[in-house]
Amino acid sequence: MTAVPTERVAEVFVEVADTLVDQFDLIEFLHMVSRRAAELVNASAAGLLLADPKQGLQFMAASDESTRLLELFQVQAHDGPCVDAFRTGLPVVNADMTTASHRWPKFAPRAVAAGVLAVHAIPLRLRRNVIGALNLFSSETSALRPADVHIVQALADVAAIGILQERAVRRGEELTEQLQGALNSRVVIEQAKGAIAQQHHVNVDEAFQLLRRYARSHQRKLGDVARAIAINPAGMPDLFGSEQPAGDPV
């Protein structure tokens, strides 16, 4: 992998810190962190998984949310480098999927089939707790260098703070309460995607794009728009009617 320019790293951390200052939308924040993580180390995709007290890991956000990759992220709730990073609290770096079918029998073959040849998983740490993992997919088996791992780990640590910052600091809440709320907000997004797909005759990937574009152009939180749609699908606004002309910022 190419060396990460220092200026770019600095820019990303400033951007993340900026987002954390204001009242922010959790899912949007995690998307941004995923995109930046993928960009910084030239990964083809990056995703974040959070711990659920009931079922282990659950997918929260990814740089690319096509259905093909979503499935791959979700399989890792049970089997794969993310589970290992989550359980041990240590990064799993440069895991070669072409030779890993004995180690991760469910995940590795699916990864190779999806064109993912190398996988990296970085634990999301908060003080002594591991609350999830940041996952990077590469379409080539080239190596992530130690310096890259440090950068991604720092980004993962910031993401962990972001996930829990909202009310946690002020109210001294427990981890579980925060995580449960965060996980449910992802479920709401999926329900809204389904409602939009049905209403507007598009697939769920396109539905997500419509949802994001609408939230942005109306300067509303993604989670708020999704909730309104999922609670009352009949009152759904015309999401096509609000398309931005061009230059949709990523």
Partner 1 sequence: MADDRTAWAHAQIRRQPRRQPGTETIADYLHRLCSATASSLPISGVGLNLMTESGGGGMAGASDSTSEQLEELQFTLGEGPCIEAFVRGQPVLEPDLEAPRATRWPMYSTSVLELGVRAVFAFPLQVGAERLGVLDLYRDQIGSLSAEQTAQAIAFAGIAVTSLLDHQQGNPPGEGAADLDDPLEYRFELYQAQGMVAVQLRVGVAEALARLRAYAYATNRRLSDVAGDVVERRLDLADDA
Residue 231 lies near partner 1 (rule: CB under 8 A): yes
The C-alpha angle 243, 44, 194, rounded to 5 degrees, equals 45
- What binding mask, one character per residue, do residues 75-104 give for partner 1 by CB under 8 A, x or -? x--x--------------------------
Give the shortest CB-13-to-partner 1 separation in angstroms.
28
Rounded CA-CA distance 122/175 in Å is: 19
Rounded CA-CA distance 44/114 in Å is: 12
Looking at the Cβ atoms of 108 and 151, the one nearer to partner 1 is 108
Give the shortest CB-120-to-partner 1 separation in angstroms.
22
Member of 99, 171, 237, 243 binding partner 1 (CB under 8 A): 171
- Answer for the pair 138, 117: CB distance below 8 angstroms, yes or no: yes
In the chain, where does DSSP find H-type helix?
Answer: 6-21, 26-40, 67-75, 81-88, 107-113, 146-171, 175-200, 204-217, 222-231
Give the shortest CB-59-to-partner 1 separation in angstroms.
7
Residue 247 lies near partner 1 (rule: CB under 8 A): no
Rounded CA-CA distance 5/3 in Å is: 6
- Answer for the pair 210, 200: CB distance below 8 angstroms, yes or no: yes
Member of 180, 209, 217, 242 binding partner 1 (CB under 8 A): 180
Rounded CA-CA distance 111/183 in Å is: 24
Residue 112 lies near partner 1 (rule: CB under 8 A): no
Residue 181 lies near partner 1 (rule: CB under 8 A): yes
DSSP code for 22: S
Q: Which stretch binds partner 1 (CB under 8 A): 27-35, 154-162, 230-238, 239-247?
A: 230-238
Tokens of 140: 């080539």
Rounded CA-CA distance 13/177 in Å is: 27
Residue 176 lies near partner 1 (rule: CB under 8 A): yes
- What binding mask, one character per residue, do residues 183-222 give for partner 1 by CB under 8 A, x or -? -xx-xx-xxxxxxxxxx----x------------------
Member of 178, 210, 212, 222 binding partner 1 (CB under 8 A): 178
Residues at the contact surface with partner 1, assessed by CB under 8 A = 53-55, 58-59, 70-71, 74-75, 78, 106, 171-174, 176-178, 180-181, 184-185, 187-188, 190-199, 204, 226-227, 229-231, 233-234
